């Protein structure tokens, strides 16, 4: 069994879905079902984030866009679909039902988020499964909320591996689902608790979903289909001359994803590394290309500096009110608050009297964080920053990237340089 993962950009229009279906079709092997994990279409997750109760008052236009976008793709792909009553509208009605009952509040934000945002994947996979079936590819749609079982840590569900494995084993044993179908389509990014609540695995979590399923189903390999030819040494959006890395050792991939290499979700590699399952990154635009492979290699090849940029960063300096040392007990309080709010620290540094953290500047989370911290600490911050990580740096490479910007925070190890700088030159 093989696992394919298609992200939002690979299914963002009817043509994109046709292209995706062609890739799937050309990889079908008799008697071997292909598990296809799909994200929400295009930028749907960003739109749904704004529909979470309490985020904005003006949801009418967003809700309309959500419907128009999906129905257009759906009808282009399946022209005979009923105008008034179809599977997508049914899901939209369910979403409306949820939106009407969820209570907007800061405490409920993470829970509400998952109940709303998960509709992106539910809708995309519904359209895609129906399209594949209409094209003679016998496809079974599966609800990932019954396969990927998590705890109730909303917006960043922790996988219950035993229960997820059991659910996957039941699927493998289910001759109806697997035996009679060429393709299994399921949602990336979402999971479910044992008591039936929807969870998500963190933004861009569909890669992780593919990896969880590959691990639990004992897949031969995973292919992640992207809009880039493979694992590049930098994001081509920010960097003109990228180099494709052909082979990446598992450990290196974990490090790179941890630092924010957006080509792959940070948690993706560990499960497949544990079972030695190779992961390929290939282009859905040029699917005949070789792509990159993550696997049991010793070094990256070719060897070259790697650059990771994280934008929209905020640097918080946390200082005890009474000039006491930032010691373990203070840090314990700070980490308790971070963990409770669900904030991931991208870089941290401490001195005698202050503790600095660089985090993504998501106002929904940063505001409550500052509020909580202020009870015990003074908090200063700088926003509109960029966090740059360079693996296998040279001084010349650092100077070129920093381009004269003031460095607010810097950390260097033998292989990795990290810098926090203003987003634009000043
Ligand atoms: N749709 C989700 C997101 O945009 C998950 C994913 O695409 O991997 O974050
Ligand atoms: Mg996405």
Convert the pLDDT of each residue in 282-336 to its tens digit: 999 999 999 999 999 999 999 999 999 999 999 999 998 887 777 788 899 999 9
Cis ω before 302 (30° cut-off from 0): yes
Distance 9 CA to ligand 1 centre (A): 10
266 lines ligand 1 (CB under 6 A): no
* 181 and 310 co-located in one domain: no
Distance 39 CA to ligand 2 centre (A): 6
Helix then strand then coil, % of the chain, to nearest 5: 40, 25, 35
Ligand nearest to the CA of 37: 1
Cα distance between residue 133 and residue 119, in whole Å? 21
Average pLDDT, the chain: 94
Structure-token match 């200063």, residue found: 380
Phi first, then psi, for residue 163 (nearest 5°) are -70, -35
Choose one of 189, 213, 226, 227 to mutate for the ligand 1 pocket test, by most ligand atoms within 8 angstroms of C-beta.
189
The candidate with the shortest Cα–Cα distance to 248, out of 294, 288, 285, 283, is: 294
Burial of 248 (0-12, 13-18, 19+ CB in 10 A): buried
* 199 and 318 co-located in one domain: no
Cα distance between residue 397 and residue 345, in whole Å? 25
CA 320 vs. chain centroid, Å, equals 35
Ligand nearest to the CA of 204: 1
How far CA 10 is from CA of 20, 102, 236, 364, in Å, comes to 7, 31, 17, 29
Centre a 10 Å sphere on the Cβ of residue 367 and count the other Cβ atoms it contains: 12
pLDDT at 426: 44
271 lines ligand 1 (CB under 6 A): no
pLDDT at 328: 81
157 lines ligand 1 (CB under 6 A): no
Domain stops at, among 220, 246, 270: 220
Domain of residue 48, residue span: 2-220
Cα distance between residue 189 and residue 180, in whole Å? 26
Helix locations, 322-362, DSSP H? 328-341
Residue nearest to atom 2 of ligand 1 (CA): 204
CA 321 vs. chain centroid, Å, equals 37
CA 95 vs. chain centroid, Å, equals 22
Instruction: Put residue 206 in one of left, alpha, beta given phi > 0 → left and psi -120 to 50 → alpha.
Output: alpha
* 215 and 315 co-located in one domain: no
Choose one of 11, 39, 198 to mutate for the ligand 1 pocket test, by most ligand atoms within 8 angstroms of C-beta.
39
How far CA 23 is from CA of 19, 132, 283, in Å, comes to 6, 12, 10
Cα distance between residue 363 and residue 113, in whole Å? 14
On whether the CB atoms of residues 398 and 388 are closer than 8 A, the answer is no
User: Longest C-alpha distance within the chain, in Å?
Assistant: 70
7 lines ligand 1 (CB under 6 A): yes
What residues are paired with 224 via a beta bridge? 5, 281
236 within some domain: no
Domain stops at, among 220, 244, 275: 220
Choose one of 20, 38, 205 to mutate for the ligand 1 pocket test, by most ligand atoms within 8 angstroms of C-beta.
205
* 8 and 105 co-located in one domain: yes
Helix (H) or strand (E) holding 409: strand 409-412
How far CA 185 is from CA of 29, 178, 203, 229, in Å, comes to 16, 11, 20, 24
124 lines ligand 1 (CB under 6 A): no
Instruction: Put residue 327 in one of left, alpha, beta given phi > 0 → left and psi -120 to 50 → alpha.
Output: beta
339 within some domain: yes
Phi first, then psi, for residue 197 (nearest 5°) are -95, 145
Residue nearest to atom 3 of ligand 1 (CA): 204
39 lines ligand 1 (CB under 6 A): yes
Q: Are strands 355-360 and 345-350 parallel, antiparallel or unpaired?
A: antiparallel
Q: Convert 60-70 to b/e letters by CB count within 10 Å (16 or more is b).
A: eebbeebeebb
203 lines ligand 1 (CB under 6 A): yes
* 162 and 310 co-located in one domain: no
The candidate with the shortest Cα–Cα distance to 49, out of 234, 203, 276, 268, is: 203
Domain stops at, among 202, 220, 238: 220
Number of domains the chain is built from:
2
332 within some domain: yes
Distance 272 CA to ligand 2 centre (A): 21
42 lines ligand 1 (CB under 6 A): no
- For the chain, list residues with pLDDT below 50: 426
Q: Which residues surround ligand 2, an ion (CB under 5 A)?
A: 8, 39
CATH number of the domain encompassing residue 380: 3.30.2130.10
228 within some domain: no
Residue nearest to atom 7 of ligand 1 (CA): 204
Which ligand 1 atom is nearest residue 46's CA?
Answer: 4
125 lines ligand 1 (CB under 6 A): no
Instruction: Put residue 50 in one of left, alpha, beta given phi > 0 → left and psi -120 to 50 → alpha.
Output: alpha
Which ligand 1 atom is nearest residue 7's CA?
Answer: 7
Check residue 178 and report its DSSP letter.
I
pLDDT at 425: 54
* 47 and 143 co-located in one domain: yes
187 lines ligand 1 (CB under 6 A): no
329 within some domain: yes
291 within some domain: no
């Amino acid at each position: 069994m093989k696992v394919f993962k298609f992200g939002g950009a690979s299914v963002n229009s009817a043509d994109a879905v046709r292209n995706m279906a062609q890739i799937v079709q050309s990889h079908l092997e008799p008697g071997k079902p292909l598990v296809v994990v799909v994200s929400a279409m295009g930028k749907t997750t960003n739109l749904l984030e704004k529909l979470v109760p309490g985020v904005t008052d003006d949801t009418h236009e967003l809700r309309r866009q959500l419907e128009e976008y999906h129905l257009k793709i759906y009808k282009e792909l399946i022209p005979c679909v009923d105008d008034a009553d179809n599977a997508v509208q049914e899901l939209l009605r369910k979403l409306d039902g949820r939106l009407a009952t969820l209570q907007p509040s800061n405490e409920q934000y993470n829970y509400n988020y998952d109940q709303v945002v998960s509709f992106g994947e539910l809708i995309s996979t519904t359209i895609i499964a129906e399209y594949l079936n209409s094209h003679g590819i016998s496809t079974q749609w599966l609800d990932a909320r019954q396969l990927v079982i998590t705890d109730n840590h909303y917006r960043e569900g922790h996988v219950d591996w035993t229960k997820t494995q059991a659910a996957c084993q039941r699927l493998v044993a289910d001759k109806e689902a697997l035996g009679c179908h060429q393709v299994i389509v399921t949602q990336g990014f979402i999971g479910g608790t044992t008591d039936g609540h929807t969870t998500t695995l963190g933004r861009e979590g569909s890669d992780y979903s593919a990896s969880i399923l590959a691990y639990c189903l004992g897949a031969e390999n995973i292919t992640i289909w992207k809009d880039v030819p493979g694992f590049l040494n930098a994001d081509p959006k920010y960097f003109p001359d990228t180099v494709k890395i052909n082979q990446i050792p598992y450990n290196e991939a974990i490090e790179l994803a941890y630092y924010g290499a957006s080509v792959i979700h940070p948690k993706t590699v560990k499960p497949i590394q544990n079972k030695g399952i190779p992961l390929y990154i290939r282009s859905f635009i040029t699917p005949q290309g070789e792509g990159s492979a993550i696997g049991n290699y010793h070094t990256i090849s070719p060897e070259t500096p790697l650059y990771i940029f994280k934008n929209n960063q905020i640097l918080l300096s946390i200082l005890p009110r009474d000039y006491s040392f930032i010691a373990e007990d203070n840090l314990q309080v700070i980490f308790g608050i971070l963990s409770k709010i669900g904030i991931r620290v991208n870089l941290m540094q401490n001195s005698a009297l202050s503790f600095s953290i660089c985090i993504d500047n998501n106002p929904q989370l940063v505001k409550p964080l500052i509020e909580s911290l202020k009870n015990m600490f003074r908090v200063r911050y700088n926003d509109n920053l960029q966090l740059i990580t360079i693996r296998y740096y040279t001084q010349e490479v650092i100077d070129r990237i920093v381009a004269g910007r003031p460095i607010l925070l810097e950390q260097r190890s033998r292989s990795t340089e990290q810098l926090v700088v203003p987003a634009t030159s000043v």
